[in-house]
Amino acid sequence: MASRLYEWLDSRLRLKPIGKTLLDEPIPGGASWNYVFGSATLFLFVLQAVTGMFLTMYYVPSTDHAYDTVQYIQHEVMFGWFVRGLHHWGASAIMLAIGLHMLQVFFDGAYKPPRELMWMVGIVLFLLMLGFGFTGYLLPWDQNAYWATQVGINMAGRVPIVGDLMVKVLRGGETLGALTLSRFFALHVLFLPSMIIFGIMLHLFILRRVGPAGPWDEKKAKEGSETFYPRQVYMDAVVMLGVFLIVATLAATIEFPLADKADPSDHSFVPVPEWYFLFYYQLLKYVHGPLEPFATWILPGLFFLMLFLLPFLDRNPQRRISRRPVTLGVGMVFLVIVFGLLGISLRDLYAVPKTDPSVIRGKELVVKFACKTCHRIHGEGAAIAPDLSFVADRRPDREWHLRHFRDPQSVSPGSFMPKLPLSDRQLNDLTSYVLTLKSGV
């Protein structure tokens, strides 16, 4: 049945030669798990496109509605939270997949002649992908979105000569606002997708014209060539399924929370960028004064220029990594710096004093047991009993508080503080909270 349909279609559309070109592409040295990163990236791109289309059904790119519509998608729309989760985690996954794809091509020397154009188109694709990340981040219109974008646009403004123009083009108006949001939305769903689809087609077209690079070991490459179908198709499919399962699991289990709605007047908000910009965010913290332009635009500008021109800068004809000490060295130093900065940045982020959950519960118990009917804490409450604002200064001893809460009279004979029916956990939580009440010096 299926084969008769195929024959029928083939006699009209002449499909066989196309199937042949698509599937019988020879891979020098045979199929390999090393070559799956490109297809993983492509798969994730399709996932982003599909989930993005569904999000667009509800999302409204206006400053009055953007935040609410994202909330609506998250809490009301059936599976809205899951689709949004897929789109969020898919965006992270795609950056990771591109990174791995580029590292594989870099260390394998697959960008060398005759594949220079494929590499250069690839770098453009990478830049477009960063553009997706940057424009997409603003769309939920929460505090993080607003202030992180503000930082990004300010950085663009530091570039000499074209900086002002870039800010105008990005922002659309005098301040970051309604015009910026419409513009970022249009870029995110129309301009960038059409550009990137063209780029992807070009990338694949070139791949088909020059063929895959295969292993650096020429002997191995000549030994056996294998067609794309079936083994490479199978490997790619396995990886795509694996990638989907990982992204779906993340989407199903870890919600990406919205911050408060964007408040342009709240200049105290410190935004946290996406993890793939974190290392760079860390670098910016170290440079001040005359070095600042160096970090804000000279370094990234040079980096992308050199990356783009890599096939012409690296004239070493060898592909084997052990014969390319300079490339290997530069690549390793780059990775060490990036991961070092990322590590420091993550450590700093998590070092931000997070309130101990026990303390939070203790604070709630203070409300529940109406402690302020007798005690004053930071100006609130009655002054019948001692002011507790800085009680830990005079009583830093945990044991004392535990005993006191269990039975006030046992440590303060004659106390009229009630003996409260507290569980061990509540005792502990109250004590943890009370011990935070100190002057901080």
Kindly list the residues in this chain that would bind ligand HEC in the complex (CB under 6 A).
366, 369, 371, 373-375, 385-386, 388, 391, 394-395, 401, 408, 412, 415-418, 420, 430, 434
Pick the closer one to ligand HEC by CB: 167 or 427. Answer: 427
Q: Which residue has the tokens 């635009």?
A: 297
Nearest distance from residue 153's CB to ligand HEC, in Å? 48
E strands in 81-227: 225-227
Classified as helix, coil or strand, 50 is helix
Pick the closer one to ligand HEC by CB: 328 or 385. Answer: 385
Pick the closer one to ligand HEC by CB: 161 or 383. Answer: 383
Task: List, in sequence order, every residue forming a beta bridge with 99; answer none if it has no partner.
Answer: none
Nearest distance from residue 355's CB to ligand HEC, in Å? 17
* 110-113 long-range Cβ contacts below 8 angstroms, 24+ apart: 110/213, 110/319, 111/310, 111/311, 112/311, 112/314, 112/317, 112/319, 113/311
Pick the closer one to ligand HEC by CB: 49 or 417. Answer: 417
Nearest distance from residue 441's CB to ligand HEC, in Å? 18
Pick the closer one to ligand HEC by CB: 359 or 385. Answer: 385
Nearest distance from residue 435's CB to ligand HEC, in Å? 9
E strands in 168-321: 225-227
Alpha carbons 212 and 154: distance in angstroms, whole number: 41
Nearest distance from residue 395's CB to ligand HEC, in Å? 5
Alpha carbons 284 and 158: distance in angstroms, whole number: 13
Q: Which residue has the tokens 């083994």?
A: 231
- Supply the angle between the helices 80-107 and 116-138 in degrees, to the nearest 10: 150
Nearest distance from residue 357's CB to ligand HEC, in Å? 18
Cβ contact 81:255 at 8 Å: yes
